[in-house]
C-alpha cells in the first residue's frame, strides 16, 4: 500500500513494551504466510476470503464482515508484501506458491 509507513507499528496496531510480544507476532505472521504459500490454491483462496473477502466480494464492495482490503494486515512490511503478492496471484487464478511469489518479486 503506497503512502503508508509500514515501519511505524502504531499505524497497524498496538504493541506492549515487551519485545517478546512483537517477536511472537512476527513469528506468527511468518508461520501464517508459510502455510498460505504451501496450501492448495483452493485453501489459499479460502484463507484470503476469510481475512479480506473473496475477489468478487472485494470488487463488489461487500466485505463488511472482514478486514478492509488494502489495509496493512501485517506488522512486517516484507510479510505484507508477500501477502499482497499471494492475494494478487490467487485473484489471477494462479497458485500462490513460494516460487511464483519470488518470481513476481523478481519482476518488480
- What pLDDT score was predicted for residue 5? 55
Query: Is 96 within a domain?
Result: yes
Q: What is the DSSP string of 15-42?
A: --S-HHHHHHHHHHHHHHHHHHHHS-HH
pTM comes to 0.78
DSSP secondary structure, 48-107, as one string: HHHHH--HHHHHHT--TTSPPTTS---SSHHHHHHHHHHHHHHHTT----HHHHHHHHHH
Would you say residue 6 lies in a domain? no
11 domain-assigned: no
Answer whether residue 7 is part of any domain.
Answer: no
Q: Would you say residue 13 lies in a domain?
A: no
pLDDT of residue 10: 52
Q: Which residue has the higher pLDDT, 16 or 53?
A: 53
Count of structural domains within the chain? 1
The model's pLDDT over 47-100, given as tens digits with 9 standing for 90+, comes to: 999 888 888 888 888 877 777 767 778 888 999 999 999 999 999 999 999 999
Q: Are 86 and 33 in contact (CB under 8 A)?
A: yes
Is residue 85 included in any domain, yes or no?
Answer: yes
9, part of any domain: no
More confident residue, 103 or 69: 103
Domain span at residue 84 reads 23-107
Amino acid at each position: 500500500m503506497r503512502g503508508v509507513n509500514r515501519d511505524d507499528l502504531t499505524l497497524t496496531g498496538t504493541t506492549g513494551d515487551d519485545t517478546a510480544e512483537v517477536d511472537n507476532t512476527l513469528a506468527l505472521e511468518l508461520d501464517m504466510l508459510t502455510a498460505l504459500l504451501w496450501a492448495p490454491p483452493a485453501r489459499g483462496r479460502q484463507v484470503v476470503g476469510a481475512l479480506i473477502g473473496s475477489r468478487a466480494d472485494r470488487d463488489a464492495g461487500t466485505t463488511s464482515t472482514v478486514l478492509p482490503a488494502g489495509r496493512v494486515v501485517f506488522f512486517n512490511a516484507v510479510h505484507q508484501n508477500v501477502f499482497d503478492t499471494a492475494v494478487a496471484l490467487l485473484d489471477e487464478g494462479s497458485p500462490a506458491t513460494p516460487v511464483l511469489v519470488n518470481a513476481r518479486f523478481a519482476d518488480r
